[in-house]
Structure 1
């Protein structure tokens, strides 16, 4: 399992995770995406996440907007300058390049794609395709199924695996149902979290809960197939996983909005 072979372990039965995504940084720290200073909004998220004393951060992709190497360096700088003390893990979005992520690896930015704790695990999948739409390769689907095996698992990817009746449906995960069926068929996947759609959603597939996390940058208006943006303030999601006395993992999650 090449993608998931390098695991990071927490020696605890309760894990608190922040999911932050779609920061769309530029090489210039003053760069704006639809009128929003994305570096400023991402820094606000990092500061707020630090206040919640999370165990780790999962960054959900679309780090860059201008595809520059400097935007990745800015990502690393914003994390280094923040009060965060926990590790930050990442997965690629449609805007991103794997080699640029690997170039900024360090004490706080880690490349592990399997994060384990007592009783469960997080799996960070690669949904980056050849186009802005997503695609999970067959070999990766098989890796995911084997990775879940009989371990209670929470899976993260970038693209939405099902339509959300929004503009980004034109760039959804094209083989999303295949991914979801593979996860449900393991009987041990608890939930799937994704970014990409720039707003919060909750829906389900064959009993599997699917959660979209808003962007740390701009949001895209819900329930419209037109390209519309809303500056609702930066946002991230908190996820708590608890391995309880019944030997099952309980999940709770909430979106944190930093309005104004």
Structure 2
């Protein structure tokens, strides 16, 4: 199946999306990632989303830390327990197995990668490479170009890896052909923004007029602008994206504030 073949239509002009990323779950609900119970933190995020009238959740990758099937099943269980009723979509992270993501994609969890309203396209991209660093294949870049050429709408895109350096440790695992992806998006015209995870903190950058946003993790955060790997338990976070026609507003919500 072509990456963008499965679609989802939002019937409303005004929609609210939540970008939730980097949960790093274990098969054991008590599993800890740098002394943080990641299942508990993700559960808190899901429960808070029920207060925001969210129309869809974009999960930004790195669902698992131990790479177990049970960790994916735990994600589904936490979602069911939360009472959140909107559809949940995903992009793969470097820790993820696409087949295991597809295995839980039924009912509320959807494998759709081309979401749209009457005014806007939302594309969920594949930046998963063969190493922790990211890579968009030539075939995938052609698929992105084809979707952009077929549409006269504005577009917002999501992927897992960061395409631009953040002056930090995670730059060793950057999207290695990030500029090529960004040029593909900008050359397609009408792309408003790209959102990503992976870097476990909040960043904003620009590339040829394209806004690029990083969303913090639901697990631990990584200290910004340091050359070594420093973890910070500042609590879970997620990004709110409010869309009205062809315009958008975004902000990061920190649960501990």
Deviation at 1:118, TM superposition (A): 1.5
Are 1:256 and 2:246 an aligned pair? no
Q: Give the whole-Å Cα distance in 1 for the aligned partners of 2:141 and 2:154.
A: 17
The match for 1:34 is 34
1:222-242 deviation line (CA, Å, top 9, x unaligned):
010111000010000000111
Are 1:217 and 2:219 an aligned pair? yes
The match for 1:175 is 177
Q: Give the whole-Å Cα distance in 1 for the aligned partners of 2:145 and 2:238.
A: 28
The match for 1:81 is 81
Deviation at 1:151, TM superposition (A): 2.0
The match for 1:246 is none
The match for 2:67 is 67
Q: Give the whole-Å Cα distance in 2 for the aligned partners of 1:189 and 1:56.
A: 20
Deviation at 1:5, TM superposition (A): 1.1
TM-score scaled by length of structure 2: 0.98
Q: Give the whole-Å Cα distance in 1 for the aligned partners of 2:224 and 2:250.
A: 20
1:127-180 deviation line (CA, Å, top 9, x unaligned):
000000000001101111221233211000000001001111000000000000
The match for 2:18 is 18
Are 1:98 and 2:95 an aligned pair? no
Q: Secondary structure at the match of 1:4?
A: coil
Are 1:117 and 2:117 an aligned pair? yes
Q: Secondary structure at the match of 2:193?
A: strand
Work out the number of aligned pairs and report it.
Answer: 255
Q: Secondary structure at the match of 1:109?
A: coil
The match for 1:46 is 46
In structure 2, list runs of 5 or more residues that go unmatched: none
The 5 A counterparts of 1:198-213 are 198-213=200-215
Q: Give the whole-Å Cα distance in 1 for the aligned partners of 2:235 and 2:6.
A: 35
TM-score scaled by length of structure 1: 0.96
Q: Secondary structure at the match of 1:122?
A: strand
Q: Secondary structure at the match of 1:241?
A: strand
Q: Residue 234 of structure 1: which of 222, 236, 248 is its match?
A: 236
